Amino acid sequence: SQQGEEDPQALSIQEGENATMNCSYKTSINNLQWYRQNSGRGLVHLILIRSNEREKHSGRLRVTLDTSKKSSSLLITASRAADTASYFCATVSAGDDKIIFGKGTRLHILP
Amino acid sequence: NAGVTQTPKFQVLKTGQSMTLQCAQDMNHEYMSWYRQDPGMGLRLIHYSVGAGITDQGEVPNGYNVSRSTTEDFPLRLLSAAPSQTSVYFCASSTGRTDTQYFGPGTRLTVL
């Protein structure tokens, strides 16, 4: 059964703008992970945020987690053409430690 | 470190043929897994292993076998290929089941 669901499914923005993607889930989690996938490539880990954390940063990436709303967001600031990719959230369920990937958000940065 | 490697990159099979997708990692990770990625479906877990000699089924295990004789290698076997197994297959490894996953580059499989 699907756990994390990303929103929107697709997003196009101008280079330099900020991009925000959201992930909602249904059951309690151990942690939540964000990954990037460039076309034709494997997934690359971006950030892991634990259930007791609310915000994490990595360079131009900012991830927030709201366990009361069962949602997370990934913000990419000052987007670049190289950020064009699909972004996936993966939730690790509390209890059984199952990791389930969402269907992803396709981000396209316009020059 | 090479990380996670997968071979082959591309493969075309006929219905009923069998083959093995290879996966190897050089990070001494205990946890390894196989996913398939289909358009609009995200990644779905096929099989996983928490260490040498230990494997278990994921979400979509039917038609696939795995074994884990060493820490480094985790091959995925298709017993009798079917068109429904046309997909992109990814192998991943991590230190533990809940930790950051490191993915291989994928194998694109077409079954005719």
Contact B97 A104 (CB under 8 A): no
| Cβ B34 vs Cβ B23: under 8 Å | yes
Contact B103 A42 (CB under 8 A): yes
3-state helix, strand, coil in chain B (%, to 5): 5, 55, 45
Q: How far off is chain B from A33, nearest CA to CA, in Å?
A: 7
**Alpha-carbon gap, residue B44 to B36, rounded angstroms:** 5
| Cβ A42 vs Cβ B89: under 8 Å | no
**Alpha-carbon gap, residue A67 to A84, rounded angstroms:** 28
| Cβ B12 vs Cβ B19: under 8 Å | no
Q: Tell me, what's the pLDDT at A1?
A: 45
- Rounded to the nearest integer, the mean pLDDT of chain A is 94
Distance set, CA B101 to CA A84, B7, B58 (Å) = 21, 19, 16
Q: Tell me, what's the pLDDT at B7?
A: 97
B41 contacts on A by Cβ (under 8 Å) = 103
Q: How far off is chain B from A35, nearest CA to CA, in Å?
A: 9
Contact A41 B105 (CB under 8 A): yes
**Alpha-carbon gap, residue B106 to B4, rounded angstroms:** 10
Q: Residue B72 region, left (φ>0) first, then alpha (ψ -120 to 50), else beta?
A: alpha
Out of A41, A97, A104, name the one closest to residue B97 (CB): A97
Q: Tell me, what's the pLDDT at B81?
A: 96
Distance set, CA B4 to CA B10, B25, B29, B54 (Å) = 16, 4, 10, 19
Size of interface A-B (CB pairs under 8 A): 48
Region A85-111 average pLDDT: 92
Q: Tell me, what's the pLDDT at A102?
A: 92
**Alpha-carbon gap, residue B23 to B92, rounded angstroms:** 9
Q: Tell me, what's the pLDDT at A3?
A: 66
Give the tens place of pLDDT for each residue, A27-50: 999 999 999 999 999 999 999 999
Closest-approach residue (CA) in chain B for A10:
B40
| Cβ A53 vs Cβ A33: under 8 Å | no
Q: How far off is chain B from A106, nearest CA to CA, in Å?
A: 11
pLDDT class for B78, splitting at 50, 70, 90? very high
Cβ neighbours of B80 (radius 10 Å): 11
Share of chain B above pLDDT 70, in %: 100
pLDDT at B64 over 60: yes
Give the tens place of pLDDT for each residue, B8-58: 999 999 999 999 999 999 999 999 999 999 987 789 999 999 999 999 999
pLDDT at A12 over 90: yes
pLDDT class for A96, splitting at 50, 70, 90? confident
